[in-house]
Amino acid sequence: MTSITAYEPGASQLLMGNEAIARGALEAGVGFASGYPGTPSSEIIGSLAEVAREMDIYVEWSVNEKVALEAAAAASFAGVRAIVAMKQNGLNVASDFLMTLNLTGTNAGLVLVLCDDPSALSSTNEEDSRPIAKWADLPLLEPATFQEAKEMTKWAFELSEEIKNVCLIRSVTRVSHARGDVRLGEPMPPSREARFAPTTLGQFTPMFVPLKHNLLHQKLSKAREIFESSPFNWYTGPERPELLIVTCGSGWYYSLEAVRTLGLESSVGILKLGTTWPLPEKLVQQHLARTDKVLVVEEVDPFLEGNLKELVGDTFSALGPLTFYGKRSGHLPSFGELDPDRVMGAVSSVLGRERVAVDPDYAKKAQALTGSLVQSRMIGFCAGCPHRATLWSVKNALKLDGRGGFVTGDIGCYTMGLGPTGFFQLKTAQAMGSGTGLASGFGKLGKLGFSQPVLAVCGDSTFFHAAIPALINGVYNQSNFTLIILDNSATAMTGFQPHPGTGASALGEPAPRVDLEALCGSLGIRVEVADPFDLEDTTHKLLDLMRDDSGVRVLISRRKCALVRAREEKAAYKVRVDSEKCRGESCGCARLCTRVFQCPGLVWDSDSQTARIDEIICSGCGVCADICPASAIIREVA
């Protein structure tokens, strides 16, 4: 598809919210961009990397979010505008640096984009990252439209320079991962006079913390004044609305749709806020004074709702009685995504009107006709996924070992190993690298009666991101566990971004490849490498590593991601089921291949009562041929 610089300024281009953010940065003259991949944020850095050569700017995939923010802060300190992007969990990693960077301040514009994932469509939590703005005393912008995502990002650099501090932008899935037409502006060349030259004592340090803390509050007050007249805040509706909706971000379109669909334009007003911290108090008070009912529409936590109430608490005598509706009143859920139907329901309920969403006769008929036909579609490992093969060997090795061993999980595609396609092998899943940290702890419980073997898994990108300190902790503290690095040569879950182990940079240029074996070997521990498609060898190595319970061991299970293989190479095998040899239910294998191995390319044919290969789905890895006890699955070199 076309890049974010393919069209002339003035043209309208269909852009993903993330691309609009990236384009806004280009139009602001960004010179430095960094981040760590994470849904729904990845395309911000991805689309900048795509045009980095052409625009002659620097773009990197950093090893983790904290380093990404540190690297970008260096650019800001040296006078170059910089953008950093991450998902909500990434903020947790970066926040250690952020919570002091706010005190030290910045030089050239520094914009930190946080992309939240309400409903956790591709996350292990649905954390609302906005409270960081309040916590760190930093200004927060929330785009509601694609055009605004671009304009806001562009302006965020100016605001950052005005107050000499980080400016936060918070997006959500339905902005970041939606697309809309955006009118393009002119890209700006970055400053090419990078130089680090502090002008005052301790300028880029938190030195004299209370003084800097006070200065931080002054900066925030300045942002509040600027926000009072921001074009990102607007009101639409009658002079004195019966109900005032206050909304931000994704809530804007849902609110607009609800008011239109319900035909309430003359009685319900919408105050759309783009600057949600600090609140533009005067503007907000003006609008609150003209109504007595307020509905707050936002994702995910009642952040805006709480801040509005706080403001009302400060100025109660001037405003008179107000009733708030939203998440605390139960009119909107305080978990999961919003959508136009939920907002319509809330508006109708507050105003005491009945709302019929869908014609009840049609709904009834649809339920009768489709209800029983539509099955749930669980996500799982792709056909040919190396993780399925590794976890098959893990399952068998743990069984053969017989001491009640288990797997601590981590973050990536392989988190799906919690479910049926990973044979439920993963028993924990929290944060990046935490599988190894947990293993390090479990491995020290021997003194306290613990005797189970511990296996930790993590992907190659996750290993670099956060598992290395945990591994070293295990080595140093003489813990006892085996780390399995699932090396599929990509950050697969988020779109195959390169990382330090792939030998490629964010721009796809050759980069030094950090050698996993050498790195782990340098810790003085045993390191083995296996091909997960060789089930027997992988199982033996795992068993041997588990029995060698003398400390920390590493198994690198190495095979490229099936989706990457499908792009780069032809299938290794043509796989078929010999229907003469497959004895189906009478075999005694209890349908090991379809029922247990659960590869979507292997299908149980209920008509013929045998397994068969779905040739459209099958990736030709041939692993299933090794699990069939009757040798009925035939693989032939393709």
Partner 1 sequence: MEGKDPLNVIVTGVGGQGNVLISQLMGRALVRAGYHVTIGETYGASQRGGAVMSHLRVSRQAQYGPLIPQGQANVILGLEPVETLRVLGQYGNPGVTVITNSRPVYPLAVAIGTAHYPSVEEIVKALEELSSKAWLINATDIALELGASILTNIIMLGALVGADVLPLAAGEFELELRESLPADRLDLNLKAFRLGLAEAKAR
| CB 110 within 8 Å of CB 158 | no
Q: DSSP H helical segments within 243-322, as ranges?
A: 251-261, 281-288, 303-314, 316-319
- Site membership for partner 1, residue 201 (CB under 8 A): no
- Site membership for partner 1, residue 45 (CB under 8 A): no
- Site membership for partner 1, residue 183 (CB under 8 A): no
- Of 111, 63, 49, 120, which Cα lies nearest the Cα of 84? 111
Count of residues that bind partner 1 according to CB under 8 A: 70
Stretch that binds partner 1, among 185-193, 359-367, 439-447, 544-552 (CB under 8 A): 359-367
Residues 11-30 binding partner 1 (CB under 8 A) are 12-14
- Site membership for partner 1, residue 598 (CB under 8 A): yes
Q: Return the ∠ at Cα 371 (arms to 369 and 372), rounded to 5°.
A: 95
Task: Find the radius of gyration of the CA atoms of the chain.
Answer: 28
Shortest distance, CB of residue 357 to partner 1, whole angstroms?
5
Residue closer to partner 1, measured from CB, 553 or 560: 560
- Site membership for partner 1, residue 145 (CB under 8 A): yes
Residue closer to partner 1, measured from CB, 444 or 591: 591
Q: How long is the chain?
A: 638
Shortest distance, CB of residue 87 to partner 1, whole angstroms?
10
Residues 163-182 binding partner 1 (CB under 8 A) are 174-175, 177-181
CA distance linking residue 143 with residue 148, whole number of Å: 6
- Site membership for partner 1, residue 617 (CB under 8 A): yes
Torsion from C-alpha of 331, 335, 338, 343, nearest 10 degrees: 0
In this structure, how many other beta carbons lie within 10 angstroms of the beta carbon of residue 586?
A: 7
- Site membership for partner 1, residue 380 (CB under 8 A): yes
- Site membership for partner 1, residue 568 (CB under 8 A): no
Give 361's contacts (C-beta < 8 A, 6+ positions apart): none
Pattern of binders to partner 1 over 393-432, x per CB under 8 A? Answer: --------------------x--x---xx-----------
| CB 304 within 8 Å of CB 251 | no
Residues 205-234 binding partner 1 (CB under 8 A) are none
Residues 270-289 binding partner 1 (CB under 8 A) are none
Q: Return the ∠ at Cα 226 (arms to 224 and 231), rounded to 5°.
A: 115
Residues 546-565 binding partner 1 (CB under 8 A) are 563
Contacts 24+ apart (CB under 8 A), 535-542: 535/389, 535/392, 535/393, 535/396, 535/623, 535/626, 535/627, 536/626, 538/389, 538/390, 538/393, 539/393, 539/396, 539/397, 539/400, 542/393, 542/394, 542/397, 542/455, 542/482, 542/484
Residue closer to partner 1, measured from CB, 52 or 178: 178
- The encoded tokens of residue 48 equal 């900048």
- Site membership for partner 1, residue 344 (CB under 8 A): yes
Binding site for partner 1 (CB under 8 A): 1-2, 12-14, 39-40, 121-122, 145-147, 174-175, 177-181, 250, 252-254, 256-257, 261, 339-341, 344, 357-359, 362-363, 365-367, 369-371, 373-382, 413, 416, 420-421, 493-494, 563, 591, 594-595, 598, 600, 602-604, 606, 614, 616-617
